Structure 1
Amino acid sequence: MMKRKINCESARAFPIEKALAKLGHFPQRTTEKEAWFLSPFRSETQASFKVSKTRNRWYDHGEGVGGNVIDLICRILNCSVKEALVYLNQDRPSFSFQQQQHFNTNDIGITVTKVQNIKHPALIQYLNLRGIPLPIAKVYCHEVWYSFKNSKFFTIGLRNYNGGWELRNRIFKNGCSPKSYTYLRNNNKQLIVLEGMFDLLSLAVLNENLIKVSDVLVLNSVAFVKDVEVHFSNYEVIGLYLDHDEAGRNITLYLTNKYRHVLDKSDGYKNHKDLNDFLCHERKG
Protein backbone atom coordinates (compact mmCIF):
# COMPACT_ATOMS: atom_id res chain seq x y z
CA MET A 1 0.00 0.00 0.00
CA MET A 2 1.36 3.43 -0.96
CA LYS A 3 2.31 5.59 1.99
CA ARG A 4 0.32 8.81 2.34
CA LYS A 5 2.36 11.99 2.36
CA ILE A 6 2.29 13.92 5.56
CA ASN A 7 0.63 17.36 5.56
CA CYS A 8 0.88 20.25 8.01
CA GLU A 9 -2.09 19.07 10.04
CA SER A 10 -0.86 15.51 10.47
CA ALA A 11 2.74 16.67 10.91
CA ARG A 12 1.79 18.74 13.93
CA ALA A 13 0.77 15.49 15.65
CA PHE A 14 4.27 14.05 15.18
CA PRO A 15 5.73 13.67 18.73
CA ILE A 16 8.32 16.36 19.41
CA GLU A 17 10.33 13.97 21.59
CA LYS A 18 10.61 11.59 18.64
CA ALA A 19 11.64 14.41 16.30
CA LEU A 20 14.34 15.52 18.73
CA ALA A 21 15.61 11.94 19.05
CA LYS A 22 15.88 11.75 15.26
CA LEU A 23 18.14 14.79 15.46
CA GLY A 24 20.33 13.39 18.22
CA HIS A 25 18.76 15.21 21.21
CA PHE A 26 17.61 13.31 24.29
CA PRO A 27 15.94 14.52 27.50
CA GLN A 28 17.90 15.36 30.61
CA ARG A 29 14.85 14.62 32.77
CA THR A 30 11.25 13.59 32.16
CA THR A 31 7.93 13.47 33.98
CA GLU A 32 4.54 12.11 32.93
CA LYS A 33 3.59 15.42 31.31
CA GLU A 34 6.85 17.02 30.16
CA ALA A 35 10.47 16.49 29.16
CA TRP A 36 13.43 18.84 29.58
CA PHE A 37 16.29 19.02 27.09
CA LEU A 38 19.50 20.97 26.67
CA SER A 39 18.55 23.58 24.10
CA PRO A 40 19.22 22.44 20.51
CA PHE A 41 19.83 26.09 19.59
CA ARG A 42 22.91 26.78 21.73
CA SER A 43 25.44 25.26 24.11
CA GLU A 44 24.26 25.02 27.73
CA THR A 45 24.73 22.89 30.84
CA GLN A 46 21.29 23.32 32.43
CA ALA A 47 18.25 22.09 30.51
CA SER A 48 16.03 25.06 29.59
CA PHE A 49 14.14 23.53 26.67
CA LYS A 50 10.75 22.09 27.69
CA VAL A 51 8.51 19.77 25.71
CA SER A 52 4.89 19.40 26.78
CA LYS A 53 3.88 15.81 26.14
CA THR A 54 0.18 16.55 26.55
CA ARG A 55 0.10 19.51 24.14
CA ASN A 56 3.00 18.37 21.92
CA ARG A 57 4.54 21.84 22.03
CA TRP A 58 8.01 23.06 22.88
CA TYR A 59 9.24 26.15 24.69
CA ASP A 60 12.80 27.42 25.01
CA HIS A 61 13.01 29.33 28.28
CA GLY A 62 16.46 30.64 27.39
CA GLU A 63 15.15 32.54 24.36
CA GLY A 64 11.48 32.87 25.27
CA VAL A 65 10.28 31.19 22.08
CA GLY A 66 8.28 28.06 21.33
CA GLY A 67 6.04 26.36 18.83
CA ASN A 68 5.03 23.08 17.24
CA VAL A 69 7.14 20.32 15.74
CA ILE A 70 7.23 21.93 12.27
CA ASP A 71 8.57 25.17 13.73
CA LEU A 72 11.21 23.16 15.56
CA ILE A 73 12.40 21.21 12.52
CA CYS A 74 12.51 24.34 10.37
CA ARG A 75 14.66 26.14 12.90
CA ILE A 76 17.07 23.31 13.76
CA LEU A 77 17.66 22.24 10.15
CA ASN A 78 17.32 25.77 8.76
CA CYS A 79 14.88 24.48 6.18
CA SER A 80 11.51 25.37 4.68
CA VAL A 81 8.15 24.02 5.85
CA LYS A 82 8.04 21.80 2.75
CA GLU A 83 11.47 20.35 3.57
CA ALA A 84 10.41 19.82 7.19
CA LEU A 85 7.38 17.84 6.02
CA VAL A 86 9.59 15.69 3.81
CA TYR A 87 11.87 15.06 6.77
CA LEU A 88 9.00 14.06 9.06
CA ASN A 89 7.55 11.82 6.34
CA GLN A 90 10.64 9.65 6.13
CA ASP A 91 10.37 6.10 7.38
CA ARG A 92 13.80 6.31 8.95
CA PRO A 93 15.61 9.26 10.59
CA SER A 94 17.96 10.30 7.82
CA PHE A 95 19.75 12.85 10.00
CA SER A 96 19.91 10.76 13.15
CA PHE A 97 22.81 9.77 15.35
CA GLN A 98 20.76 6.71 16.28
CA GLN A 99 21.07 5.06 12.86
CA GLN A 100 24.82 5.26 12.93
CA GLN A 101 25.28 2.66 15.62
CA HIS A 102 23.87 -0.03 13.33
CA PHE A 103 26.79 -0.37 10.94
CA ASN A 104 30.36 -1.28 11.65
CA THR A 105 33.62 0.60 11.22
CA ASN A 106 34.16 -0.56 7.65
CA ASP A 107 33.75 2.66 5.66
CA ILE A 108 32.96 1.06 2.30
CA GLY A 109 30.17 3.11 0.78
CA ILE A 110 30.79 6.24 2.85
CA THR A 111 30.79 9.35 0.67
CA VAL A 112 31.60 12.75 2.17
CA THR A 113 29.05 15.22 0.79
CA LYS A 114 29.75 18.42 2.72
CA VAL A 115 32.46 19.91 4.92
CA GLN A 116 31.76 23.13 6.81
CA ASN A 117 32.34 24.96 10.08
CA ILE A 118 30.80 23.21 13.08
CA LYS A 119 27.34 24.64 13.64
CA HIS A 120 24.84 21.81 14.08
CA PRO A 121 23.30 22.08 17.58
CA ALA A 122 23.64 18.34 18.24
CA LEU A 123 27.38 18.46 17.54
CA ILE A 124 27.83 21.57 19.66
CA GLN A 125 25.97 19.83 22.47
CA TYR A 126 28.24 16.79 22.09
CA LEU A 127 31.34 18.98 22.30
CA ASN A 128 29.95 20.60 25.42
CA LEU A 129 29.42 17.21 27.03
CA ARG A 130 33.08 16.42 26.32
CA GLY A 131 34.22 19.74 27.79
CA ILE A 132 35.32 21.26 24.48
CA PRO A 133 34.44 24.91 23.71
CA LEU A 134 33.20 25.44 20.17
CA PRO A 135 35.96 27.99 19.25
CA ILE A 136 38.63 25.40 20.15
CA ALA A 137 36.93 22.68 18.11
CA LYS A 138 36.64 24.98 15.09
CA VAL A 139 40.40 25.48 15.02
CA TYR A 140 41.10 21.79 14.41
CA CYS A 141 37.88 20.15 13.24
CA HIS A 142 34.97 20.56 10.85
CA GLU A 143 31.37 19.46 10.56
CA VAL A 144 31.41 16.61 8.05
CA TRP A 145 28.25 15.33 6.36
CA TYR A 146 28.35 12.05 4.48
CA SER A 147 26.05 9.52 2.90
CA PHE A 148 25.90 5.82 3.64
CA LYS A 149 23.33 3.46 2.09
CA ASN A 150 21.17 6.35 0.85
CA SER A 151 21.05 8.03 4.26
CA LYS A 152 22.76 11.18 5.46
CA PHE A 153 24.80 11.61 8.64
CA PHE A 154 26.75 14.36 10.33
CA THR A 155 29.81 14.20 12.56
CA ILE A 156 32.75 16.15 13.88
CA GLY A 157 35.64 15.46 11.52
CA LEU A 158 39.41 15.68 11.89
CA ARG A 159 41.29 15.54 8.59
CA ASN A 160 44.19 13.11 8.45
CA TYR A 161 47.58 13.19 6.71
CA ASN A 162 46.27 11.50 3.54
CA GLY A 163 43.09 13.55 3.18
CA GLY A 164 40.68 11.14 4.88
CA TRP A 165 38.63 11.93 7.96
CA GLU A 166 38.27 10.75 11.53
CA LEU A 167 34.54 10.95 12.28
CA ARG A 168 32.95 11.30 15.72
CA ASN A 169 29.59 12.11 17.21
CA ARG A 170 27.84 11.19 20.43
CA ILE A 171 27.47 7.47 19.70
CA PHE A 172 29.51 6.90 16.58
CA LYS A 173 33.23 6.50 15.95
CA ASN A 174 34.60 5.80 12.50
CA GLY A 175 37.03 6.92 9.84
CA CYS A 176 36.76 7.68 6.15
CA SER A 177 39.43 6.40 3.75
CA PRO A 178 42.20 6.97 3.10
CA LYS A 179 42.95 6.34 6.78
CA SER A 180 46.08 7.76 8.37
CA TYR A 181 47.42 9.81 11.25
CA THR A 182 46.94 13.58 11.55
CA TYR A 183 50.06 15.76 11.40
CA LEU A 184 49.92 19.43 12.40
CA ARG A 185 53.22 21.09 11.49
CA ASN A 186 54.37 24.57 12.50
CA ASN A 187 58.16 24.09 12.17
CA ASN A 188 58.62 23.69 15.93
CA LYS A 189 61.38 21.67 17.57
CA GLN A 190 58.98 19.94 19.94
CA LEU A 191 56.46 17.25 18.97
CA ILE A 192 53.38 16.09 20.86
CA VAL A 193 51.96 12.63 20.15
CA LEU A 194 48.30 11.96 20.98
CA GLU A 195 45.98 9.02 20.35
CA GLY A 196 42.77 10.61 19.12
CA MET A 197 40.75 13.66 18.15
CA PHE A 198 39.45 14.39 21.63
CA ASP A 199 42.92 14.07 23.13
CA LEU A 200 43.97 16.88 20.79
CA LEU A 201 40.95 19.02 21.63
CA SER A 202 41.32 18.36 25.35
CA LEU A 203 45.00 19.32 25.40
CA ALA A 204 44.14 22.47 23.47
CA VAL A 205 41.72 23.37 26.28
CA LEU A 206 44.06 22.38 29.11
CA ASN A 207 47.27 23.86 27.72
CA GLU A 208 46.72 25.93 24.59
CA ASN A 209 50.19 27.46 24.78
CA LEU A 210 51.80 24.01 24.65
CA ILE A 211 49.94 23.26 21.44
CA LYS A 212 51.05 26.56 19.93
CA VAL A 213 54.76 25.91 20.53
CA SER A 214 54.65 22.28 19.34
CA ASP A 215 54.01 20.24 16.26
CA VAL A 216 51.30 17.63 16.82
CA LEU A 217 50.79 14.04 15.70
CA VAL A 218 47.42 12.39 16.34
CA LEU A 219 47.71 8.65 15.75
CA ASN A 220 43.97 8.14 15.06
CA SER A 221 44.78 4.44 15.46
CA VAL A 222 47.55 2.62 17.32
CA ALA A 223 48.19 0.84 14.02
CA PHE A 224 49.96 3.98 12.76
CA VAL A 225 52.69 4.02 15.42
CA LYS A 226 55.30 2.64 13.02
CA ASP A 227 54.27 5.12 10.33
CA VAL A 228 54.79 8.20 12.50
CA GLU A 229 58.30 7.20 13.64
CA VAL A 230 59.70 8.53 10.36
CA HIS A 231 59.08 12.07 11.67
CA PHE A 232 60.79 11.66 15.04
CA SER A 233 64.28 12.61 13.83
CA ASN A 234 63.00 16.11 13.02
CA TYR A 235 62.49 17.00 16.70
CA GLU A 236 64.61 17.70 19.75
CA VAL A 237 62.00 16.45 22.21
CA ILE A 238 58.82 14.41 21.84
CA GLY A 239 56.09 14.21 24.46
CA LEU A 240 53.67 11.30 24.62
CA TYR A 241 50.14 11.95 25.91
CA LEU A 242 48.66 8.51 25.42
CA ASP A 243 45.80 6.63 27.08
CA HIS A 244 46.18 4.79 30.37
CA ASP A 245 45.15 1.45 28.94
CA GLU A 246 47.11 -1.56 27.77
CA ALA A 247 47.60 -0.25 24.22
CA GLY A 248 48.68 3.20 25.41
CA ARG A 249 51.10 1.80 27.97
CA ASN A 250 52.63 -0.60 25.44
CA ILE A 251 53.18 2.16 22.87
CA THR A 252 54.67 4.45 25.51
CA LEU A 253 57.05 1.73 26.68
CA TYR A 254 58.06 0.88 23.12
CA LEU A 255 58.78 4.49 22.07
CA THR A 256 60.50 5.63 25.28
CA ASN A 257 62.80 2.60 25.18
CA LYS A 258 63.66 3.12 21.52
CA TYR A 259 64.20 6.90 21.50
CA ARG A 260 66.11 8.91 24.08
CA HIS A 261 64.27 12.14 23.22
CA VAL A 262 60.79 10.62 23.64
CA LEU A 263 59.23 11.32 27.04
CA ASP A 264 56.10 9.99 28.77
CA LYS A 265 53.93 12.97 29.75
CA SER A 266 50.92 11.03 31.00
CA ASP A 267 51.63 11.58 34.71
CA GLY A 268 49.64 14.80 34.52
CA TYR A 269 46.44 12.75 34.20
CA LYS A 270 47.66 9.51 35.85
CA ASN A 271 44.41 8.83 37.70
CA HIS A 272 42.32 9.13 34.55
CA LYS A 273 41.79 7.09 31.41
CA ASP A 274 42.91 9.83 29.05
CA LEU A 275 43.15 13.59 28.60
CA ASN A 276 39.46 14.04 27.95
CA ASP A 277 38.50 12.05 31.03
CA PHE A 278 40.82 14.32 33.03
CA LEU A 279 39.36 17.45 31.44
CA CYS A 280 35.78 16.43 32.20
CA HIS A 281 36.76 15.65 35.81
CA GLU A 282 38.40 19.05 36.17
CA ARG A 283 35.29 20.80 34.83
CA LYS A 284 33.11 19.06 37.42
CA GLY A 285 35.51 19.95 40.24
Structure 2
Amino acid sequence: MKARGDWKSIEQIKALDIVDYLALLGYEPVKVRNVNYWYHSPLRGEKTPSFKVNRQLNCWYDHGIGKGGTIIDFGMLYYQCSIAEFLQKMNVGLALSDPTTLIPKLISKSFSQEPASESKLTILQEAPITSISLIRYLQSRCIPIDVARQFCCQVSYQIGDKEYYGIGFKNDSGGYEIRTPFFKASSSPKDITTITNSGKEVLVFEGFSDFLSYQTTGRNQPIVSSDFVILNSVSFFEKACPILEQYESIHLYLDQDTTGQRITAHALSLSTKYKDESHKYTGSKDLNEWLVHNTKPHRKNLKHKLS
Protein backbone atom coordinates (compact mmCIF):
# COMPACT_ATOMS: atom_id res chain seq x y z
CA MET A 1 0.00 0.00 0.00
CA LYS A 2 1.39 3.38 -0.92
CA ALA A 3 1.68 5.89 1.86
CA ARG A 4 -0.01 9.23 1.40
CA GLY A 5 2.31 11.91 0.15
CA ASP A 6 4.39 13.06 -2.71
CA TRP A 7 6.91 10.54 -4.11
CA LYS A 8 9.69 13.13 -4.21
CA SER A 9 9.03 13.98 -0.55
CA ILE A 10 9.37 10.31 0.37
CA GLU A 11 12.67 10.23 -1.49
CA GLN A 12 13.82 13.27 0.48
CA ILE A 13 13.17 11.33 3.65
CA LYS A 14 15.02 8.28 2.30
CA ALA A 15 17.97 10.54 1.59
CA LEU A 16 18.33 11.55 5.25
CA ASP A 17 21.64 10.34 6.68
CA ILE A 18 21.02 7.17 8.70
CA VAL A 19 24.12 7.72 10.84
CA ASP A 20 22.84 11.16 11.85
CA TYR A 21 19.37 9.75 12.50
CA LEU A 22 20.74 7.02 14.78
CA ALA A 23 22.69 9.67 16.67
CA LEU A 24 19.43 11.56 17.26
CA LEU A 25 17.98 8.35 18.70
CA GLY A 26 20.99 8.04 21.02
CA TYR A 27 22.95 5.35 19.14
CA GLU A 28 26.64 5.83 18.38
CA PRO A 29 28.81 3.49 16.27
CA VAL A 30 31.04 1.03 18.13
CA LYS A 31 33.52 1.04 15.26
CA VAL A 32 33.95 2.68 11.86
CA ARG A 33 35.68 0.97 8.93
CA ASN A 34 35.85 3.29 5.91
CA VAL A 35 32.20 3.81 4.87
CA ASN A 36 30.87 1.12 7.22
CA TYR A 37 29.55 2.11 10.66
CA TRP A 38 28.96 -0.76 13.11
CA TYR A 39 26.47 -0.54 16.00
CA HIS A 40 24.95 -2.64 18.71
CA SER A 41 21.60 -3.27 17.05
CA PRO A 42 18.89 -0.73 17.98
CA LEU A 43 16.34 -3.42 17.07
CA ARG A 44 17.36 -6.01 19.67
CA GLY A 45 19.81 -6.66 22.48
CA GLU A 46 23.31 -7.86 21.63
CA LYS A 47 26.88 -7.69 22.94
CA THR A 48 28.73 -7.91 19.62
CA PRO A 49 27.91 -5.15 17.09
CA SER A 50 26.27 -6.66 14.01
CA PHE A 51 24.18 -3.73 12.80
CA LYS A 52 25.97 -2.05 9.88
CA VAL A 53 25.32 1.21 8.07
CA ASN A 54 27.05 1.75 4.74
CA ARG A 55 27.19 5.53 4.74
CA GLN A 56 28.07 5.75 1.05
CA LEU A 57 24.94 3.81 0.06
CA ASN A 58 22.97 5.19 3.04
CA CYS A 59 21.59 1.71 3.73
CA TRP A 60 21.60 -0.43 6.87
CA TYR A 61 21.70 -4.15 7.48
CA ASP A 62 21.18 -6.08 10.71
CA HIS A 63 23.07 -9.38 10.42
CA GLY A 64 21.28 -10.78 13.46
CA ILE A 65 17.82 -10.69 11.91
CA GLY A 66 18.81 -10.70 8.24
CA LYS A 67 16.97 -7.49 7.41
CA GLY A 68 17.99 -4.09 6.14
CA GLY A 69 17.13 -1.25 3.79
CA THR A 70 16.49 2.47 3.92
CA ILE A 71 15.73 4.78 6.83
CA ILE A 72 12.03 4.09 6.26
CA ASP A 73 12.53 0.32 6.55
CA PHE A 74 14.41 0.93 9.80
CA GLY A 75 11.75 3.24 11.20
CA MET A 76 8.95 0.77 10.51
CA LEU A 77 10.82 -1.94 12.43
CA TYR A 78 12.06 0.32 15.21
CA TYR A 79 8.64 1.77 15.97
CA GLN A 80 6.61 -1.27 14.83
CA CYS A 81 4.33 0.79 12.61
CA SER A 82 3.17 0.99 9.01
CA ILE A 83 4.99 3.02 6.39
CA ALA A 84 2.13 5.54 6.34
CA GLU A 85 2.30 5.99 10.13
CA PHE A 86 6.07 6.42 10.09
CA LEU A 87 6.04 8.94 7.25
CA GLN A 88 3.26 10.88 8.92
CA LYS A 89 5.23 11.11 12.13
CA MET A 90 8.35 12.16 10.25
CA ASN A 91 6.64 14.96 8.40
CA VAL A 92 2.93 15.59 8.56
CA GLY A 93 1.68 15.76 5.00
CA LEU A 94 5.21 15.22 3.64
CA ALA A 95 5.10 18.88 2.64
CA LEU A 96 8.48 20.25 3.75
CA SER A 97 10.87 20.96 0.92
CA ASP A 98 14.12 21.14 2.93
CA PRO A 99 15.21 17.64 4.10
CA THR A 100 17.34 19.12 6.89
CA THR A 101 14.23 20.55 8.55
CA LEU A 102 12.78 17.05 8.78
CA ILE A 103 15.37 15.89 11.31
CA PRO A 104 13.71 17.28 14.47
CA LYS A 105 10.38 15.80 13.39
CA LEU A 106 11.82 12.27 13.19
CA ILE A 107 11.59 11.89 16.97
CA SER A 108 7.96 11.81 18.00
CA LYS A 109 6.77 11.72 21.60
CA SER A 110 3.85 9.60 20.50
CA PHE A 111 6.25 6.74 19.72
CA SER A 112 7.72 4.53 22.41
CA GLN A 113 11.52 4.84 22.41
CA GLU A 114 11.80 1.10 23.12
CA PRO A 115 11.37 -1.04 20.02
CA ALA A 116 8.62 -3.62 20.39
CA SER A 117 9.12 -7.23 19.38
CA GLU A 118 8.25 -7.81 15.75
CA SER A 119 4.97 -9.55 14.98
CA LYS A 120 5.90 -12.88 13.48
CA LEU A 121 4.69 -13.71 9.99
CA THR A 122 4.35 -17.45 9.48
CA ILE A 123 3.89 -19.11 6.08
CA LEU A 124 1.13 -21.73 6.20
CA GLN A 125 1.10 -23.09 2.65
CA GLU A 126 1.74 -22.26 -0.99
CA ALA A 127 -0.38 -22.98 -4.05
CA PRO A 128 -0.87 -21.74 -7.63
CA ILE A 129 -2.26 -18.21 -7.95
CA THR A 130 -6.04 -18.49 -8.25
CA SER A 131 -7.39 -15.60 -6.16
CA ILE A 132 -9.43 -13.21 -8.28
CA SER A 133 -8.28 -10.22 -6.22
CA LEU A 134 -4.61 -11.17 -6.69
CA ILE A 135 -5.09 -11.73 -10.42
CA ARG A 136 -6.74 -8.32 -10.71
CA TYR A 137 -3.83 -6.80 -8.77
CA LEU A 138 -1.39 -8.33 -11.26
CA GLN A 139 -3.50 -6.99 -14.12
CA SER A 140 -3.34 -3.51 -12.58
CA ARG A 141 0.47 -3.84 -12.69
CA CYS A 142 0.24 -5.09 -16.34
CA ILE A 143 1.79 -8.46 -15.43
CA PRO A 144 0.13 -11.44 -17.20
CA ILE A 145 -0.99 -14.25 -14.92
CA ASP A 146 1.01 -16.85 -16.88
CA VAL A 147 4.22 -14.86 -16.27
CA ALA A 148 3.42 -14.48 -12.56
CA ARG A 149 2.58 -18.18 -12.16
CA GLN A 150 5.91 -19.14 -13.69
CA PHE A 151 7.87 -17.43 -10.90
CA CYS A 152 5.40 -16.82 -8.07
CA CYS A 153 2.79 -18.65 -6.03
CA GLN A 154 -0.13 -17.86 -3.78
CA VAL A 155 0.92 -18.09 -0.14
CA SER A 156 -1.29 -18.33 2.91
CA TYR A 157 0.30 -16.76 5.97
CA GLN A 158 -0.54 -15.96 9.56
CA ILE A 159 0.17 -12.84 11.63
CA GLY A 160 -0.91 -13.17 15.23
CA ASP A 161 -4.16 -15.11 15.23
CA LYS A 162 -5.28 -13.97 11.76
CA GLU A 163 -4.72 -15.67 8.40
CA TYR A 164 -4.18 -13.95 5.05
CA TYR A 165 -3.03 -14.75 1.52
CA GLY A 166 -0.93 -12.96 -1.08
CA ILE A 167 1.43 -13.29 -4.03
CA GLY A 168 4.61 -15.01 -2.86
CA PHE A 169 8.06 -14.79 -4.46
CA LYS A 170 10.55 -17.21 -2.96
CA ASN A 171 14.14 -16.32 -2.12
CA ASP A 172 17.22 -18.53 -1.99
CA SER A 173 16.84 -19.18 1.75
CA GLY A 174 13.20 -20.27 1.60
CA GLY A 175 11.60 -17.00 2.69
CA TYR A 176 9.02 -15.10 0.67
CA GLU A 177 8.41 -11.60 -0.56
CA ILE A 178 4.65 -11.10 -0.20
CA ARG A 179 2.43 -8.64 -2.07
CA THR A 180 -1.30 -7.90 -2.08
CA PRO A 181 -3.18 -4.84 -3.31
CA PHE A 182 -2.91 -3.45 0.24
CA PHE A 183 0.10 -5.09 1.87
CA LYS A 184 3.83 -5.52 1.39
CA ALA A 185 5.85 -7.81 3.64
CA SER A 186 8.51 -10.51 3.84
CA SER A 187 8.77 -13.79 5.69
CA SER A 188 11.98 -14.92 7.34
CA PRO A 189 14.62 -15.65 6.34
CA LYS A 190 14.99 -12.72 3.94
CA ASP A 191 17.49 -13.15 1.11
CA ILE A 192 18.18 -12.54 -2.56
CA THR A 193 16.63 -14.68 -5.30
CA THR A 194 18.83 -16.13 -8.04
CA ILE A 195 17.49 -17.62 -11.27
CA THR A 196 20.15 -19.35 -13.33
CA ASN A 197 20.10 -20.36 -16.99
CA SER A 198 23.85 -20.93 -17.44
CA GLY A 199 24.14 -17.44 -18.87
CA LYS A 200 27.28 -15.35 -19.20
CA GLU A 201 25.44 -12.19 -18.23
CA VAL A 202 23.25 -11.41 -15.23
CA LEU A 203 20.38 -8.95 -14.90
CA VAL A 204 19.81 -7.35 -11.49
CA PHE A 205 16.47 -6.06 -10.15
CA GLU A 206 15.53 -4.52 -6.82
CA GLY A 207 12.21 -6.35 -6.51
CA PHE A 208 10.26 -9.10 -8.19
CA SER A 209 7.66 -6.73 -9.72
CA ASP A 210 10.40 -5.25 -11.90
CA PHE A 211 11.71 -8.74 -12.69
CA LEU A 212 8.21 -9.86 -13.77
CA SER A 213 7.90 -6.67 -15.79
CA TYR A 214 11.09 -7.52 -17.65
CA GLN A 215 9.79 -11.03 -18.32
CA THR A 216 6.55 -9.50 -19.63
CA THR A 217 8.34 -7.25 -22.12
CA GLY A 218 10.29 -10.21 -23.52
CA ARG A 219 7.44 -12.66 -23.98
CA ASN A 220 7.40 -12.36 -27.77
CA GLN A 221 11.13 -11.77 -28.25
CA PRO A 222 13.86 -14.32 -29.04
CA ILE A 223 15.02 -16.24 -25.96
CA VAL A 224 18.33 -14.96 -24.59
CA SER A 225 20.18 -17.05 -22.04
CA SER A 226 20.61 -14.69 -19.09
CA ASP A 227 20.75 -15.24 -15.36
CA PHE A 228 18.83 -13.07 -12.91
CA VAL A 229 19.41 -11.76 -9.41
CA ILE A 230 16.51 -10.14 -7.57
CA LEU A 231 17.85 -8.32 -4.51
CA ASN A 232 14.50 -8.19 -2.64
CA SER A 233 16.10 -5.33 -0.68
CA VAL A 234 18.74 -2.82 -1.74
CA SER A 235 20.61 -3.69 1.45
CA PHE A 236 21.53 -7.04 -0.13
CA PHE A 237 23.57 -5.48 -2.93
CA GLU A 238 26.87 -6.00 -1.12
CA LYS A 239 25.95 -9.59 -0.34
CA ALA A 240 25.12 -10.18 -4.01
CA CYS A 241 28.38 -8.67 -5.34
CA PRO A 242 30.50 -11.88 -5.14
CA ILE A 243 27.79 -13.69 -7.14
CA LEU A 244 27.40 -10.89 -9.68
CA GLU A 245 31.09 -10.47 -10.35
CA GLN A 246 31.39 -14.05 -11.60
CA TYR A 247 29.63 -12.96 -14.78
CA GLU A 248 31.10 -11.33 -17.88
CA SER A 249 28.56 -8.49 -17.73
CA ILE A 250 26.15 -7.24 -15.07
CA HIS A 251 23.07 -5.26 -16.12
CA LEU A 252 21.44 -3.10 -13.45
CA TYR A 253 17.71 -2.40 -13.62
CA LEU A 254 17.47 -0.48 -10.35
CA ASP A 255 14.97 2.16 -9.32
CA GLN A 256 15.47 5.74 -10.42
CA ASP A 257 15.17 7.06 -6.88
CA THR A 258 17.92 8.39 -4.65
CA THR A 259 18.86 4.98 -3.24
CA GLY A 260 18.76 3.18 -6.57
CA GLN A 261 20.87 5.83 -8.26
CA ARG A 262 23.37 5.80 -5.39
CA ILE A 263 23.81 2.04 -5.57
CA THR A 264 24.08 2.14 -9.36
CA ALA A 265 26.81 4.79 -9.14
CA HIS A 266 28.61 2.71 -6.50
CA ALA A 267 28.43 -0.40 -8.70
CA LEU A 268 29.75 1.43 -11.77
CA SER A 269 32.73 2.55 -9.70
CA LEU A 270 33.56 -1.05 -8.80
CA SER A 271 34.00 -2.54 -12.26
CA THR A 272 33.39 -1.94 -15.95
CA LYS A 273 31.31 -5.14 -15.90
CA TYR A 274 28.40 -3.18 -14.44
CA LYS A 275 26.03 -1.56 -16.94
CA ASP A 276 23.28 0.89 -15.99
CA GLU A 277 20.09 0.00 -17.88
CA SER A 278 17.79 2.49 -16.13
CA HIS A 279 17.88 4.75 -19.20
CA LYS A 280 15.46 2.26 -20.78
CA TYR A 281 12.70 3.45 -18.45
CA THR A 282 13.62 7.12 -18.15
CA GLY A 283 10.77 9.18 -16.74
CA SER A 284 9.50 6.35 -14.54
CA LYS A 285 10.68 5.54 -11.04
CA ASP A 286 11.07 1.85 -11.86
CA LEU A 287 10.58 -0.71 -14.61
CA ASN A 288 7.07 -1.69 -13.52
CA GLU A 289 5.87 1.91 -13.55
CA TRP A 290 7.30 2.21 -17.07
CA LEU A 291 5.45 -0.97 -18.10
CA VAL A 292 2.14 0.29 -16.73
CA HIS A 293 2.59 3.65 -18.46
CA ASN A 294 3.37 1.98 -21.79
CA THR A 295 0.65 -0.69 -21.68
CA LYS A 296 -2.49 1.42 -21.70
CA PRO A 297 -5.63 -0.34 -22.98
CA HIS A 298 -5.62 1.47 -26.33
CA ARG A 299 -2.03 0.37 -27.06
CA LYS A 300 -1.40 -3.06 -28.48
CA ASN A 301 2.36 -2.88 -28.17
CA LEU A 302 4.85 -1.28 -25.83
CA LYS A 303 6.07 2.17 -26.82
CA HIS A 304 9.61 0.86 -27.00
CA LYS A 305 11.30 -2.42 -26.14
CA LEU A 306 13.93 -3.24 -23.57
CA SER A 307 16.25 -4.93 -26.04
The answer, yes or no, to whether TM exceeds 0.5 is yes
**Could you list the runs of 5+ residues in structure 2 that have no partner in the other structure?**
1-79, 84-116, 300-307
Identity within the alignment, %? 34
TM-score (norm 2): 0.57
Tell whether 2:112 aligns with 1:116: no
Tell whether 2:142 aligns with 1:131: yes
**Could you list the runs of 5+ residues in structure 1 that have no partner in the other structure?**
1-101
Aligned counterpart, 1:180: 191
Secondary structure of the residue aligned to 1:213 is coil
Tell whether 2:253 aligns with 1:266: no
**Which of 1 and 2 has higher RCO (CA within 8 Å, sep 6+)?**
2
Aligned counterpart, 1:87: none
Structure-2 change in CA distance of 1:192 and 1:163 (3 Å): same
Q: What whole-Å deviation, never above 9, does each CA across 1:24-43 have from its counterpart, x for those lacking one?
A: xxxxxxxxxxxxxxxxxxxx
Structure-2 change in CA distance of 1:145 and 1:229 (3 Å): same
TM-score (norm 1): 0.62
**In 2, are the aligned partners of 1:203 and 1:211 still within 8 Å (CA)?**
no
Aligned-partner Cα distance in 2 for 1:269–1:211: 21
> How far off its partner does 1:108 sit?
3.7
> How far off its partner does 1:189 sit?
0.5
Secondary structure of the residue aligned to 1:283 is coil
Tell whether 2:241 aligns with 1:240: no
> How far off its partner does 1:207 sit?
2.2
Tell whether 2:155 aligns with 1:144: yes
Tell whether 2:229 aligns with 1:217: yes
Q: What amino acid maps onto 2:240 in structure 1? A: V
Q: What amino acid maps onto 2:159 in structure 1? A: F
Secondary structure of the residue aligned to 2:143 is coil
Aligned-partner Cα distance in 1 for 2:229–2:119: 26
Tell whether 2:280 aligns with 1:280: no
Structure-2 change in CA distance of 1:176 and 1:224 (3 Å): same
Q: What whole-Å deviation, never above 9, does each CA across 1:138-166 have from its counterpart, x for those lacking one?
A: 01100011011111111101001111000
Aligned counterpart, 1:229: 241
Q: What whole-Å deviation, never above 9, does each CA across 1:55-113 have from its counterpart, x for those lacking one?
A: xxxxxxxxxxxxxxxxxxxxxxxxxxxxxxxxxxxxxxxxxxxxxxx964886421111
Aligned pairs (5 A) from 1:36-75:
none
Structure-2 change in CA distance of 1:132 and 1:211 (3 Å): farther
The structure with more radius of gyration: 1
